[in-house]
């Protein structure tokens, strides 16, 4: 089906373009859209999903572009058909318009649902929801943005969830960090996190042994800072990380538990506090000559 559609659309595009017809660009858009869909059937990309959900990214990401092109060509094509003086063109235009109107039913029904019936103010501010849902976390984020400095390393939870066993030793309860809030401060405030969502790091940077080793090392380093039971060890880890600030926000409390985190206040300065959430400053140690 894709092959036949591509042949017809491609030939029509070339023919009408040669005759300088205004509808040629519309057919060109449709041709490229079908080509993207057809290409996903003909070519296989062995990406990082190959062993679990092969072709996932290939199919759905090419489909995005394809349906955008096809919808643009189809919408304009309906107008062209309805404007044509020939009865057959108008009839086809009315049929296509009817299908388009019916297909918009979902958009009409879904819009109130997705917008909570427009009960909240419309905004393109990505932090607007956070300011309403968790004002203390919002204030923390804004404080870090204003005071940390762009590119500063700020320690925040890795996304792995920890608990304590019967002996009081840290126990990993859930090692999956993807689709969590890890890296949220870095994303919102422009700072640097040592590690983001593990699998997404692998997805974009490659599933090499070196990357797996490095990303795991970074997760272990950050978790060791929060779970350390020794102040000297925690300071050493902070120095190794090159950290300027440590966040103890809502997400950190969830991932490490109130009893799981080291008492940062015992050896770090509290530079922000609101609603039980805190940011700690890591001391800058500079060597001083004594003689």
Per-residue pLDDT of the chain (291 residues; tens, 9 = 90+): 889 999 999 999 999 899 988 889 999 999 999 999 998 888 877 777 777 788 887 888 888 899 999 999 999 989 988 988 889 989 999 999 999 999 888 888 888 888 777 877 777 888 988 998 899 999 999 999 999 988 899 999 999 999 988 888 899 999 999 999 999 999 999 999 999 999 999 888 888 999 999 999 999 999 999 999 899 999 999 999 999 999 999 999 999 986 689 999 999 999 999 999 999 999 886 656 666
CA angle 248, 219, 184 (to 5 degrees): 45
How many CB atoms are located within 10 Å of the residue 153 CB? 17
pLDDT of residue 56: 80
How many CB atoms are located within 10 Å of the residue 90 CB? 14
Measure the CA–CA gap between 80 and 101, rounded to whole angstroms.
17
pLDDT of residue 204: 85
pLDDT of residue 36: 92
Measure the CA–CA gap between 71 and 26, rounded to whole angstroms.
10
Q: Which two tokens stand for residue 194?
A: 């040592």
pLDDT of residue 53: 80
Those residues whose C-beta lies under 8 Å from the C-beta of residue 132, and which sit 6 or more positions away, are 120
Spatial CA neighbour of 202 closest among 45, 58, 46, 49: 49
pTM: 0.75
């Amino acid at each position: 089906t894709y092959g036949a559609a591509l042949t017809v659309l491609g030939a029509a595009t070339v023919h009408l373009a040669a005759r300088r017809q205004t509808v040629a660009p519309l057919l060109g858009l449709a041709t490229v859209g079908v080509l993207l869909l057809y290409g996903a059937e003909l070519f296989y990309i062995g990406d990082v999903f190959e062993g679990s959900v092969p072709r996932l990214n290939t199919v759905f990401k090419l489909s995005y572009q394809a349906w955008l092109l096809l919808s643009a060509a189809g919408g304009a094509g309906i107008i062209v058909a309805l404007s044509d003086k020939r009865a057959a063109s108008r009839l086809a235009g009315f049929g296509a318009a009817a299908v388009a109107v019916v297909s918009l039913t979902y958009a009409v029904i879904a819009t109130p649902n997705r917008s909570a019936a427009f009960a909240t103010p419309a905004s393109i501010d990505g932090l607007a929801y956070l300011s309403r849902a968790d004002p203390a976390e919002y204030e923390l984020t804004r404080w870090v943005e204003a005071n940390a400095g762009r590119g500063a390393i700020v320690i925040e939870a890795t996304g792995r969830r920890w608990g304590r066993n019967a002996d009081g030793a840290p126990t990993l309860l859930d090692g999956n960090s993807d689709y969590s809030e890890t890296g949220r401060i870095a994303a919102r405030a422009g700072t640097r996190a040592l590690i983001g969502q593990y699998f997404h790091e692998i997805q974009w940077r490659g599933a090499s042994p070196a990357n797996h080793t490095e990303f795991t090392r970074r997760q272990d380093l950050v978790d060791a800072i929060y779970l350390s039971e020794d102040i000297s060890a925690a300071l050493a880890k902070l120095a190794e990380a090159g950290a300027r600030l440590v966040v103890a926000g809502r997400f950190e409390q969830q991932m490490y538990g109130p009893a799981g985190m080291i008492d940062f206040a015992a050896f770090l300065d509290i530079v922000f506090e609101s609603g039980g959430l805190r940011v700690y400053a890591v001391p800058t140690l500079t060597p001083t000559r004594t003689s």
